[in-house]
Structure 1
Amino acid sequence: MYNSHIGKSSCKSTLWKNLQGTPVQPGSVECGYFEMRFMRDMIHDLGLEFEKKFDKKKEPVKYEQEHIDDVRLDWVEFVNKQLQNNK
């Protein structure tokens, strides 16, 4: 998909990599926010360096409560904006 996006034609199949250094969810109730934070980090990584960031050879990335709270605030702002637009 990336090659197609940049206009490069390729017949190669997709190479999936398991990144062993990805953050581990600390509990059992924050999974949705945790995954949204992980996706947010990947999307905001314009240099596509997340593979290096989450490499298992390095110390695993840890999300602190403030990281999860950032996602919660983004979600609240989004929902509030949608509610305001529907009035």
Structure 2
Amino acid sequence: MDAAAINKLISRLGRTYAELISEGLIFRGSLMPLLDTAENEEWVQFPVEGVELWFAKKNVIFEKVLCTAAKFIFNVEKRGILKKGTHLFKPK
């Protein structure tokens, strides 16, 4: 997943899981509960190592994109997606 794909996902915060699938931004995959308890209020999908997509359980609305920087940056640089001196996210 490159910076452009992450930026596109960020711009879609507030959309539903189904909308993201229909737009081709994510693949239908297993949404996992954040916690293994009845109080769990969020679902998480891990499309690639180092990236988490969080959805509200009650309405499956896309709420958060979390990137584990150490693993993610290493993987991105290793594959040559992010060149040295460039920014992962485009400032607004």
TM-score (norm 2): 0.23
From the two aligned structures, give the one with the greater strand fraction: 2
Higher RCO (C-alpha under 8 Å, 6+ residues apart): 1
Between Structure 1 and Structure 2, whose CA radius of gyration is higher? 1
From the two aligned structures, give the one with the greater helix fraction: 1
